[in-house]
Every structure is written in structure tokens, then in C-alpha cells.
Structure 1
Amino acid sequence: MTSTQQLQHLYWRAGFGPRPQDVATGQSPRKALRQLRQDSAQFTPLAGPGLSYAEPRGLVMAAPASTKKPASDGPVTTLPDPPGPRPRRAELTPEQRKLQNQGLREAFVNMSTAWMDRMATSPAQLREKMTLFWHGHFACRVRQPNAALSLHNTTRQHALGKFPDLLLAVSREPAMLQFLNNQQNRKAQPNENFAREVMELFTLGRGNYREQDVKEAARAFTGWGYDYEGNFKFRARDHDDGPKTFLGRTGNLTGEDVLRLILEQPAAATFLVTKVYRFFVNEVPNPAHIAPLAVAFRRSGYDLADLMERLFSADWFYEPANVGTHIKSPVELLAGLRRTLGLRLDNDRPLLGYQKALGQTLFQPPNVAGWPGGRNWIDSSSLLLRLQLPAILFRNAEFAVALKQDENDLAPNLTRAERTVRPGAGARLSLAPLQQLLGAVPAAQQPARLSEFLLQATIRPESLELVQQAAHQKEPAEALRATLISLLSLPEYQLA
């Protein structure tokens, strides 16, 4: 495997693919990794106009002078909105509900498009990729965009920090507390949902705790909630301050104590490293690789940046079994197309429709376990759309896809016409970077050279022949465009 191939592999796994200028420098993978870490060192929140949600005019009602705000430790069943009186949804007219749904949906659309743009253009590729990993690990689906955005920025901030800090911060996010019902967790009526998922999905995995540990952890998390401004709030009067026995330790344990005791278990490091390995290296875990990584991860205090450095520096990371074997998720596919080709879109909203059609809509995981990934990304209908995407984007081909109904949608009863996504992205592709990459390569050899850059899996001879035929007897620019579309339309391009 050449140094250039290793470099491309690194850029696909630690980010969203290489650009022609990334591989033209001839730098070593080690130097590239150092640059990736440096570029991702700074945390910049996802923020800007349109990313926050405010109740549309006509929905916010002035509170009567006699109205009192509910007690801060009273029952709350929905996520808080920005300050200001808000009518209950049951009090809204159908037209007002529609207006509210439109505002909520618009905020989520803006959040998703802003993040997709970051993935495609930001130099902080490693932080973006790690944020995507945590987005699936701490899967959470709530109705309020403000709460979803707050959780997103928390995972973004701690994505390459210490996992104990990330775990505690996520556990205190209103979105997560609401999604996993801990707002209703009180000493008189413990709710075990949050405590169970923290251990099963976020830290230990099944088989590494007992059912009694779930019950005791739930008692420790009683009183954890949020206030009407969307801030974490510990309600002492709802907390069970009696003695608890959790993972063999007894005492007046708090939620913070439970999280600390969880991470003292060797199984936590193994569970987390295995999940990282499956996302960044190979769907099939290799215990011989994972065991030393897990030991080093614990010794480092669960330092995520150190873990990723070790993983991407390992010789086995570049072994053939781990190259060109990862099925790109829909988000990786779409962001990668934009990044590697410098693709500019006049309207990037249709890409959100393609996300959904392909099975991965940002901020809307299917359940608390997140997206299953791997071979689950591919079925007969999604593969057809994947293979036709380049033609859709670069030739503005007419390819309309009707999205499936989703019972969790803000507006689940749209007509088929309203659910149909049409191209309209206005893709603009500059061929100059690719022409510079090709340099003086003869026209007849350009398909093979481009395949080396665009495909991580080796192109089959019969596929290369078809690509060469597509570019045959065309003027240079059109031949390059035809070659590009043909290569991107191959099954091999679905792998990274």
C-alpha cells in the first residue's frame, strides 16, 4: 500500500474524504494526522441565524397578571421553550399547530444543512467526524430544536476531550433527560429508563451490570431534571438520599457517583473502544487490536484525542482488510461528494430529502440505539438511489423520490406529492482541482488515475473498461466529467 493510498484512507476515516490538494502535497500519513488534530483542536459551536427556534407570532400569548410560573420542582413533561408564555398545544387551533410545526421543522432543517456544510468544508475534519460518531452513540430525538442543538454542541465541545466530562455533560442535557424520561424520575416513583440506557448503550454494554444495579442507579439519578429555561436542575426534594449498592459499592450515592463508578469498570473502556473501532476501522472487531487500546484508554483517563491518535497511527489501521471495506453512511456519502470534489450547491435542502430516503436524517435517529450502520445502509432501493446520485447532482437528471411516512415526523400526514424530493440542488463542479491532480497523465490513462483517487476499493477491470468507454471520443472537459460521473456511480464508490 503506497503512502498516497494510506493518506486517502486516513482522510476518509478521520474525516469526510481527501481533496485533490490533500494528496498532491505528498505528505506522510503521520504528518497529515498531526495536522488533522491541530485543525480540530478548537471548539466552535454550531450557531447562527435560523438555528434556534422561537415561537412564531400569533402563538405566544401574553400571560395574565395573575398567572404564576409553576414551581421549579413541579412536574414538567415537555422540553422548555425560550422565555415567554407559551400556550399548551391542546389550546392551539389546527392552523396554529401547522404554523408551529413549520417553525420547528424549519429550525431542524437549518441545523442539519449548517452541519452538513461544516462536514464538507471545515478544516476541523476530525472533530466533525467524532461529533457524527457521538451523534449516533448518544442518540436522542426530541421535538424542540433548541434542546437538540444544545446537546449537539455539548458533544461537539467534548468530542476529543475526556470521556468522563462528555458523559457527565450529556447526562445533564435537557434533551437527553427528557428523551430517557429522567425528568419524571423521583424518589417516590423511580424511572429506570435513563439509568438503564446509560449503562447498556453509553458505557458498559449488556452483561456487565445486574438488574439490581439499574434499580440502584435510577435511585441515584432521582431529582436530575431541567428548568423552564432549559438548564440542568437538581431537585433535592425529589432525590432519594438513602444508601444504595451499585456495582459492589455501597453508600449515599449520587448520579455523579454512579457515572464515576461505571468508568472504573474495565468493561467500560473495552465497550467504548470496540464501538469506536467498529465506526472508524472495521465492523468486525479484532480483540487483539482492541485490548491494548482499551488499557491505554483507561490509563489516559479516557482521553479521546489520545485514543484516536493511537488508532490512526497503528500499522493494522492500514492493513488491506481495513481499507475500502467500510460502507459509507448516507451522511458520509453526501458530505464526501461535496468535500472531495469541492461541490458547490445553490440549494442544499434537497440533500436532506436524500438523507431521509437513504435512511439517515441528522437529529432524527430511529431510536435510542442510533443507526445500526454497516450492511444495514444498503438495500435494493437505497442502492439504486446511491448509484444515481452523481447523475442527479451533476447532470440535474430527473429523479424524484417519494419519502416514506414517519410516525415521528412533525408533519406525518403529508401527501405523496409533498413528500417527493426532486433534484433542484443546482450543483456546480469545478474541474480545475481534478485537472491539476491529473497533470500530464495521458487521456487514455486518466480513468485509472482518477479511480485511484476516488475509490478506496480496487476497481474491477470490467468496470474500468466501462468508465473508459463513457469518456471515449469526447472533448477533454466533457470526457473528464463523464469519467467522474461513471466512477462515482460504481458500487465501489459506496466503500471507504
Structure 2
Amino acid sequence: MAGRLRAAPPGCGRRPQHRQGPAAAAARGPRLRAHHERRTFLQRPAGGRDGRTGGSGYPGGRAGSGFACPRQLSAAGHPQPGPDGRAPGGRRRAAPALGAGPAPPGLAAAAPRRPYPEQRKLQNEAIRDAFIGMSTAWMNKMATSPGQLREKVALFWHGHFACRTRRPDDSLALLNTIREKALGKFPDLLLAVSQEPAMLQFLNNQQNRKEHPNENFAREVMELFTLGRGNYTENDVKEAARAFTGWSYDAQSRFTFRERQHDAGPKTLLGQTGNFGGEDALRIIMQQPAAATFIVTKLYRFFVNDVPNPAHIEPLTVAFRKSHYDIGDLLERMFSADWFYEPAAMATIIKSPVVLVAGLRRTLNLKVDNDKQLLGYQKALGQTLFMPPNVAGWPCGRAWIDSSSLLLRLQLPSILFKNAEFAVRLKDDENDITPQTTGRERTVKNTETTHLPLAPIQQLLGGAPTENQPQLLADFLLQAPLRPENLALVQQAAAKATTPEERLRNTLLSLLSLPEYQLA
């Protein structure tokens, strides 16, 4: 069964011919094994803590963070800490700040400080730019990496383990932990994510101490990560919180167990009693039958259908538990099932904004002069990587569609392929890193050029007659069958062209602008 699993790129559908770009689809490349897929990280150039190869990709960066980001410069041209808050020499600052802090007494005259609002603005802009760079790098990975299954599963876990911080290095470390363990054993992934500084900070576990427990981390671990509501009691939350006391991180963003803050007394969690610590709590949680059902159902809704089918869920759940929660094995069983390729499982999921944009780029090999602009369209459609709206992550299904977002979704191909004049004003989000921006600053305009190479599409079509090309392209691009009335509209648009290239471009544009393309 391992050899049957194909790599499913974000947004390119589930049928085999949809999972790669046209050239690769025509060549019918080899299938990928989920268990043996290489663990890849966002690429980084040389330069670690001491200037040698390794580390985060920029001087002084976090080892293993795996993202290349240029150092920020002050207005005077002096090196400032990178977006992870580290000074150029490699030592971690207490917070990712730009500019000079308050001058110590006696030095104010020699080093006049900036007004605090200006300093805060520069700091926010540097953090924002770091997150933009990280998002762009990951979107490029989704669009070009041969390990597409890992990237799409990582996107799922990115929403499942929703986390929002002001520390780009910690957020990136969390993502690379997710990407590394995305197809392994779920208990390993759960433990690694639970000990990431970004997650501990986001869920307030650094405030969780004996005699003064903070229940937020324990509650979300059970409610959102493992069991779901109704499968634990309030007392279980309190006892689990006691078990997680002492889990924290140090100034270098390394997980630290603070023994003096840990409650070492006996605890009763989900029917078991003992002097449990955090790892014990996770082990006990994963022993509950509800855990397997919760994870399987959520993956099913992401990959198959918003409405779970109990006849499909139950055998997958049993196999998932027997495999000791092997995610790769679960997905292989799911993608190998006959029902996965039945018409009832096709075109049942509304693509998320990230899946939509990444799928367009990968399927058609789009090249954009400035791909950062695509992040603006994703945000306008309701999804910004690394910035989930709340601890529950992004919504799914019909929640992606409203009157304004649907119009932008249908117009997006025209905006990109025709380089059309278009502007959309982003909603003012109180959680933005750079809040209180003007309407002009929140307006995204299409000022960049998109390049659509037609040669791979022509190769895919081969020598097919012109009148047959719309249906062939529809079979490649769409999950749902092309309705006769829509086929007629596509043919009418193609007939307006004066050259073969224009005809092909018009056909593609018409197909991608159909509501059916919004479905996976």
C-alpha cells in the first residue's frame, strides 16, 4: 500500500492528473511514498551562530529555524537584530526590538532616544516584514517543492495547532517542527509542538505554576488538539494543568522544565492517578479512544468531505490506533480507498485562500514579478499564514465564502493573467502586527506582472483538435464535471481570440473563473 500514495499539492485537487503541473502530468511521474518522503526545511544559506554553515540562514539566527532572512538596517545603516530579535553577533535579545531603547541615566545627552511611538512603529514593521518573508518562502515551497504531500499536510497541522505570536523566529521554528513531523507518529508531533516556545507562550503556559495553575494550555490541548469537546471534564483540565506546570522556555527560546514551578503531587487525569508530569498527561490523553476519532475526522474533513461519513471514519480510526497513530499510514489508507475516488467525494471542499493561490501557481507554473502581492489577495480572502484569527484556527467549508470574497475569487485569474487594474481594501484587523493603518495603506493594487507559460499546457493538449481543448483542460483543472452551459461559455470566450495562443489563454481564464474551480 505504501507505493500507492501520491503527493497531493495544495489546491490541485485529488484526482491523479490534477496533482502536478501540466508537464509533469503529461509525463505521469513516479508515485511518492509518505513514509519515505525526505524531511525538508525552508532552505537557508551558510551562516550560523558562529558564521559557519548551519543555524537559521542569517548571522546569529536560531539553529534549525531554516529560514533565510536579511538582517534589518537602521536608518543610519547600522546592523540591527534580525526579525528573530538576535543581535548580529548571535546573542538573543530579550525581545525582537528595532532601534535604540530608553537611554540609561547619564547617557541621554550622548544618545538621544527616539520617541516611543516611532520606535514601536519600526519594531512592528520589522516583525511584519519578517512574517511576510516567511509566508512568501512557504508559499514558494508549496508551489515548487516535489514534496507536496508534506507541505499540504503541514498546512493542515498549521491550522490544527493554531498559534499566533510576535516572535517570527519562534513561529518559524514551530512551523519547521510541524513540517518535519507532519507524516510521522502523532504523539511525537503533539509532544514536539507542545514544547515549542511559540505554543507555550501563545497558550500562557509560562504562567502555569504550582499552587497557581493556568488552565489555558491544558484546556486547548484536550479541546482543540486531541479529544474535542465532551470527551473530558473540567476536573481533567485542572489536573492536566497541574501536570504541565513547569513547562517553559528560556531566553534563547529553548524548552525548559522548571522543576521548582512543577506540582509534583498526585493527580487524577482521565481515570488514572499518579504523580504525572506533562509527558505523562499527553500519553494518558492519547490513550483515549476519542483521540483517534477526533484526529481522523478532522483530516477527513480537510481532504475528503466537510460532512464525515461514519462508514469511512470507523475503519480508519481503528487502523490509526493500531498503527500507534501513524499519520502517513492513515493518509495512505485514506487516499487508497475506493470511495476516495468516487463522484460523491469529488468537488466537495471549498479551497482555502492559501490552497487556491498555491494551486494556481503550481498547476500552471505561474511566475509573478513580486509574489508578495499574492499575500495581499490571500489576506483579502480571509487567510494569512502564521496569523490565525484565534486559537481554533481558520474556519473551513462555506465560511470561506461571502459576497465580497466570492467576487474576488472569481476575478483573481483575470487580475493575474490579464494584469488587470484592480484594487481591494483589506479589512482593518485589530490583531494585525501593524494596526491603525490608513485605508490607502490597506489597499492592495495589482501592480505586478504575472507570467503564464503556455508551452506546458500545449504539450499537455498534444495534437488535440481545437474544439476538444476546452473539455480536455476542464478535465485537468476541475474536480466537478463541466456543465454544458459552462462549456458553451468557455467556447464562446475562446472563439473571440485571433491567435492560437490567445485562444488557449482565453480558455484557461474562462475555466479558472468558474465557480467549479473553487472546489477540491
Superposed pair shares fold, TM > 0.5: yes
Partner residue in 2 for 1:350: 373
Contact 1:56 1:100 in 2 (8 A): no
Q: Distance in 1 between matches of 2:224 and 2:428?
A: 27
Partner residue in 2 for 1:264: 287
**AA at the equivalent of 2:156:** F
2:24 to 9, 15, 22: 22
1:37 to 34, 37, 48: 34
Contact 1:216 1:245 in 2 (8 A): yes
Contact 2:92 2:251 in 1 (8 A): no
Shift of 1:381: 0.4
Do residues 477 (structure 1) and 501 (structure 2) align? yes
Deviates more, 1:467-476 or 1:380-389: 467-476
Question: Secondary structure at 1:250's aligned position in 2?
Answer: strand
**Can you list the C-alpha shifts for 1:346-387, whole angstroms capped at 9, x where unaligned?**
100111100110001000000110011111111110010001
Contact 2:480 2:516 in 1 (8 A): yes
Question: Secondary structure at 1:208's aligned position in 2?
Answer: coil
Q: How does 1:220-235 map to 2 (within 5 A)?
A: 220-235=243-258
Shift of 1:37: 2.9
Partner residue in 1 for 2:174: 151
- After superposition, the CA RMSD in angstroms is 2.5
1:463 to 482, 486, 489: 486
Partner residue in 2 for 1:76: none
CA distance 1:439–1:84, shift in 2 (3 Å): closer
Q: Please give the TM-score of this superposition, normalised by the length of structure 2.
A: 0.85
Q: Distance in 1 between matches of 2:93 and 2:156?
A: 37
Question: Secondary structure at 2:164's aligned position in 1?
Answer: coil
Q: Distance in 1 between matches of 2:308 and 2:271?
A: 29
Contact 1:136 1:365 in 2 (8 A): yes
Partner residue in 1 for 2:222: 199
Shift of 1:304: 0.8
Shift of 1:58: 8.3
Q: Structure 2 unaligned runs (5+)?
A: 1-5, 45-56, 59-66, 103-114
Do residues 486 (structure 1) and 510 (structure 2) align? yes
Partner residue in 1 for 2:139: 116
Q: Distance in 2 between matches of 1:285 and 1:325?
A: 11
Question: Secondary structure at 1:135's aligned position in 2?
Answer: helix
Contact 1:327 1:377 in 2 (8 A): yes
Question: Secondary structure at 2:385's aligned position in 1?
Answer: coil
Q: Distance in 2 between matches of 1:478 and 1:7?
A: 32
Partner residue in 2 for 1:369: 392
Partner residue in 2 for 1:300: 323
Partner residue in 2 for 1:12: 13
Q: Please give the TM-score of this superposition, normalised by the length of structure 1.
A: 0.89
Partner residue in 2 for 1:69: none
Contact 1:36 1:124 in 2 (8 A): no
Do residues 403 (structure 1) and 426 (structure 2) align? yes
Q: Distance in 2 between matches of 1:88 and 1:485?
A: 44
Deviates more, 1:327-336 or 1:17-26: 17-26
Shift of 1:101: 1.1
Do residues 445 (structure 1) and 468 (structure 2) align? yes
Q: Distance in 2 between matches of 1:231 and 1:88?
A: 16
Q: Distance in 1 between matches of 2:8 and 2:74?
A: 50
Shift of 1:57: 4.5
**AA at the equivalent of 1:378:** I
Q: Structure 1 unaligned runs (5+)?
A: 1-5, 62-78
Question: Secondary structure at 2:256's aligned position in 1?
Answer: strand
Question: Secondary structure at 1:492's aligned position in 2?
Answer: helix
**AA at the equivalent of 2:297:** T
Partner residue in 1 for 2:271: 248
Contact 1:53 1:145 in 2 (8 A): no
**AA at the equivalent of 1:459:** L
Shift of 1:22: 3.4
Shift of 1:440: 1.3
Contact 2:96 2:123 in 1 (8 A): no
Question: Secondary structure at 1:37's aligned position in 2?
Answer: coil
Contact 1:185 1:222 in 2 (8 A): yes
Partner residue in 1 for 2:233: 210
Percent of counterpart pairs with the same letter?
A: 64
Partner residue in 1 for 2:194: 171
Partner residue in 1 for 2:52: none
**AA at the equivalent of 1:154:** T
Q: Distance in 2 between matches of 1:86 and 1:37?
A: 40
Contact 2:206 2:249 in 1 (8 A): yes
Q: Distance in 1 between matches of 2:8 and 2:468?
A: 20
**AA at the equivalent of 1:439:** G
Contact 1:217 1:258 in 2 (8 A): yes
Q: Distance in 1 between matches of 2:242 and 2:202?
A: 18
**AA at the equivalent of 1:340:** T
**AA at the equivalent of 1:187:** K
**AA at the equivalent of 1:19:** G
Contact 1:177 1:225 in 2 (8 A): yes
Do residues 104 (structure 1) and 127 (structure 2) align? yes
Q: How does 1:321-340 map to 2 (within 5 A)?
A: 321-340=344-363
Do residues 495 (structure 1) and 519 (structure 2) align? yes
Question: Secondary structure at 2:273's aligned position in 1?
Answer: strand
Q: Distance in 2 between matches of 1:222 and 1:400?
A: 49
**Can you list the C-alpha shifts for 1:95-145, whole angstroms capped at 9, x where unaligned?**
211111111011000000000000000000000001000000000000110
Deviates more, 1:229-238 or 1:96-105: 96-105
Question: Secondary structure at 2:420's aligned position in 1?
Answer: coil
CA distance 1:86–1:173, shift in 2 (3 Å): closer
Contact 1:52 1:145 in 2 (8 A): no
Q: Distance in 2 between matches of 1:268 and 1:448?
A: 44
Q: Distance in 2 between matches of 1:313 and 1:191?
A: 43
Partner residue in 2 for 1:68: none
When you count helix as a share of all residues, which structure comes out higher?
Answer: 1
Q: Distance in 1 between matches of 2:422 and 2:275?
A: 61
- The count of corresponding residues between Structure 1 and Structure 2 is 468
**Can you list the C-alpha shifts for 1:397-426, whole angstroms capped at 9, x where unaligned?**
011000010111111111111111011232
Deviates more, 1:435-444 or 1:46-55: 46-55
Q: Distance in 2 between matches of 1:332 and 1:435?
A: 25
Partner residue in 2 for 1:67: none
Shift of 1:93: 1.8
Q: Distance in 2 between matches of 1:300 and 1:430?
A: 44
Q: Distance in 1 between matches of 2:425 and 2:340?
A: 39
**AA at the equivalent of 1:43:** T
